[in-house]
Structure formats: structure tokens, C-alpha cells
Structure 1
Amino acid sequence: MPREWDAKTYDSLPLPHKFWGKRTRDRLVLRGDETVLDAGAGTGRDTAALLDLLPTGRVVAVDGSAKMLEQLRANLGDRLDRVDVINADLTKPLPVAEPVDAVFSVATFHWIHDHGTLFTNIAQVLRPGGQFVAECGGQGCNTRVLTAAAEVLGRPADAAHFAGIGETEVLLKEAGFRDVQVDLLDDPARLEPGEQLWSFLGTVILGPYLDQLPAEEHRPFVQEVAARLTEPVVDYVRLNITARRS
């Protein structure tokens, strides 16, 4: 079941996601009249950028968080006439009426452990020959942060699945994709120590663990994790995917 997010705090943070989004959009080849599905659309940052690339096209914005999609609607305002907003779980068959021309995703898939089912669901809504471009946390991502979290929790911090190149290539091909290209990229993010780091960790990375703690323990937990880091850096590793539907 997808978790809910603090959408307003998420939107207020200096997210590296905007750079990841641009890098991923740059791999799309578009005429401008296509329909693109944004898988894990969040608050609509990349949906808005996709609309700019699709002057006569549409975006299907899919996310499992109702709060994120509420913020997306507020952010996009009068541009919603070209957006289909769908609250759906990417691990289930997607309720999309017509096949789309491309599927795009940023910073979402690492929250899903079953990538075989995920890729199959994406293939089912993508037209033959359609483009699939995505990025998410990959093998080695957030190792320092999650090691610190596990030390504080006293158990593994394993809410995310950071896949590697080989397993991703195999699952994409099994799901019906061709021209598969997958790579890993080290991309650390430096933050200001103190409130910015605490807010970032609590909102973007540690949310699944905070959900399991009483509210009064949230801030001390995040601060203790931050205190165990040698510097205010999130050690991101990005898994980049480019493929086409067979």
C-alpha cells in the first residue's frame, strides 16, 4: 500500500529531484503531441515540465499519495485541462483507458520492492515502441544515512529497494522491453546542517520509519540519525533506465 507524504514540506525543500527530472526528460524524444504517463508524479514538478514539452499533448499523472496529488492540482492550476490525475498503486494494473506514448518516472521506483510486477504494469499501458525513461535510487543509495537509521532503530532500515543494473535489465526484458539501457550514477546531495538537513531526512528519506514511531519520537529520531553522519550529505546513487516497449 503506498504511503502518504507531507506534500507541502516536500515542496518547500531544496530537492535534487528537479535536476534528476531534467536529466530524465532529456532522454525523451518527443514531437509535442504525445500522451506521457508520469509514474509517481508527486506534487507535479515534472508533470509541469512535461506539459511544456507537449504543447498539444497530455500528461497522465499517477501517484499513490492523495496528498501529493492534491498539491499537484493546486500547483498546476489552470493547466489541469491537459492532465489526467489518477490516484493508483503502481504495483497494481493501472487504470489507464488508452495506451500512452511514453512513461516517465523520477525518484519513485525504489519505494517499490517488486520491480517485476512494476515493469509489467508499465508495459501494459505503453503502446508498442513507446519510450520508457526513469530514474530512482539504485544499488548503494543512502548507505550512510540508512546505516545510521538502522543503528538508532536497532534493526535494518530496509523500507526501500535499491536495485542494481543486472537485475533491472533482466526484469525489463522479461516485462517486454527492448533497447534496454541501465546505469548507476553517484549523485550526492549536500544540505545545510540543522533544520534543513533534519527536514530533508524526515520528509524525503526516513518517512517510512517515522510512520512506525510515536509522533513525539519523530524529531529526536531524525536528529540522532543526522548526528551520526560525518557531514550533512545524502549519499545518493541513481539508477537510470531507458527502454522501449517491444
Structure 2
Amino acid sequence: MGRTVSLGNVTADSSSLQPREWDATTYDALPLPHERWGRRLLTTLPLRGNETVLDIGAGTGRDTALLLDRLPDGHVIAVDGSTAMLARLRDRLADTAADRLTVLEANLNAPLHIDADIDAVFSVATLHWLPDHDAVFRSLAGVLRPGGILCAEWGGAGNLAGIEAALADIDLPALNGPCHFATAEDTARRLEAAGFVDIEVALVPDPAHLEPGAQLESFLSTVVLGAVLDPLPESERAGVVHAVATRLPEPVIDYVRLQASARLP
């Protein structure tokens, strides 16, 4: 891996499935298990240090910073659909890696068009937000060079089951409507259909323990329940978050992570 790249044409098509906006400041202040997931996933990504890596769902740039540390002679293209998240990313990384970083705001439900030789796609806690995984994997395969690697983790089947039960108890829609918590078997099949080989997929329970009260409710509101809260009047949202929190048997977010790696032939 590793090539000279031209980043003059980095775009994405529009789509009717628009990405949601995030509260980036609150998000960045929370004790996110995403940091642990990113570090864990990065240990599985083989890098020499001169590659070009596409960071899908880069958010506020925590994992992007780790990638840049691994790529002293490489380049990261950080992609996200949230304006607020990418503003935070730019602030975080402006003084450290401007010449090795390209930032792209894009709707990941639409195909990506990137004029660069992408050696690897890296993604943490993002792909479950995208409902059409067949299209997503085709899009990612389309930007990877031959031999390129996909290394990703996201919410899988069984993810947030306790929160789903709490939502059902108060007659609110399931998270697994706007989200897509896929099985390992379906994911492996979709990756193969998109042209990937050497596919490895696993579901791994990974609960996040939080402090009861304000921290739990802030986490639920900012990280977990956004797709349910967005359609509600703002005056009702805090009550819904509190109702979900009080129905959980303990202050634990019952994450199940779907971890996947694959390669283009």
C-alpha cells in the first residue's frame, strides 16, 4: 500500500436520505466507548505509514488523530455528514496535520467519488446509521484500489436491545428503523456481493457503564436516541430521555459491536 495521490476531486452525490446533525460539543465531552473501539480497531489495520486512508464517519476527529499518528508519510480523508462534527474535527487537527488531512462533508447514503488511490477504509460506529448496506459496501469498494482494505466496526444485531425495550414500553419507534443493526451472516454476504474477499465478521457484546442520572441521560440524548428525538417537539425530548433512563435495569448501554475486515482482490 501507499501511493502518490491527487485530492483535487473529492465529492459525493446528494441523496434523499439526509444525515442528521449532532451536538458536537456535548458529544466530545462524554466518556465515549467509541474511543476504545477506535483504538481497538486501529490495532487490526496493517499500515506502513505512507498510505491514504478514508475515515468514514470521522466525527470530531478522535480516531482521525490516531490515524494521522500512524501515517507520518500518508494522508487521511475524513468524511462525515455533520457540519458541527467536522467543525470540531478541524479545530482539533488544524495545527497538527493540515498537509496530511482532507476533510469532506458528505451524505454517506450516496455514492462517494474520490480522485485518489485509497489504500484502506476505516470506520468506527457509523455504518449502522446507513440503512442500505448493499449500496454502502458497493460505494466503499468503488473507491478502494485493488488490494485495498476495509476495516470497520458498528452496531450489530442485538445492539441496544434494552433501550429498544424501553422505547417500546413508552410507545416510541424502534432505533432499528432509521438504524440498521445487521447480523454477521448478512454482512458477510453483502461484502462478498460488493466484491470483497478475505472477509471476517464477528458480533461482540461491549456494554458501556455510565453514572446514573445526568451523565446517563446526556449520553442517551446525545449519542443514542437522536433519531427518535429529532421528530419530537423540543419540549418533549427531556421527558422521553428520562423515561428511557428510568426503565433501564442499570445505567448501562448494552452495545453489541459488529466488527468486519475485508479486502478487494
- TM-score bracket, shorter-length normalisation: over 0.9
The match for 1:48 among 45, 57, 65 is 65
Does the alignment pair 1:140 with 2:155? no
TM-score, scaled to structure 2: 0.91
Q: 1:22 to 1:218 in 2, by over 3 A?
A: same
TM-score, scaled to structure 1: 0.98
Indicate the RMSD between aligned Cα atoms, in angstroms.
Answer: 1.0
Q: Secondary structure at the match of 2:137?
A: helix
Q: Which runs of 5+ in 2 are unaligned?
A: 1-17
2:239 paired residue number: 220
The match for 2:219 among 179, 188, 200 is 200
Inter-partner Cα distance in structure 2 for 1:233 and 1:144:
9
The count of residues paired between Structure 1 and Structure 2 equals: 246
Q: 1:155 to 1:57 in 2, by over 3 A?
A: closer
Q: Secondary structure at the match of 1:182?
A: strand
Could you list the per-position Cα deviations for residues 154-208 of structure 1 after superposition, in whole angstroms to 9, with x for gaps in the alignment?
A: 4434321100011100100110100000001010011000000000000001011
How do 1:36-185 and structure 2 match up within 5 A?
Answer: 36-78=53-95, 79-157=97-175, 158-185=177-204
Does the alignment pair 1:26 with 2:43? yes
Inter-partner Cα distance in structure 2 for 1:203 and 1:46:
19
Could you list the per-position Cα deviations for residues 218-238 of structure 1 after superposition, in whole angstroms to 9, with x for gaps in the alignment?
A: 111100000000100010000
Which amino acid counterpart does residue 156 of structure 2 have in structure 1? G
Shift of 1:150: 2.6
Shift of 1:77: 1.9
Q: Which has the higher helix share?
A: 1
Percentage identity across aligned positions? 54
Q: Secondary structure at the match of 1:203?
A: helix
Which amino acid counterpart does residue 196 of structure 1 have in structure 2? Q
Which amino acid counterpart does residue 17 of structure 1 have in structure 2? H
Inter-partner Cα distance in structure 2 for 1:239 and 1:28:
16
Inter-partner Cα distance in structure 2 for 1:154 and 1:188:
23
Shift of 1:151: 2.0
Shift of 1:4: 0.5
8 Å CA contact retained: 1:73, 1:80: no
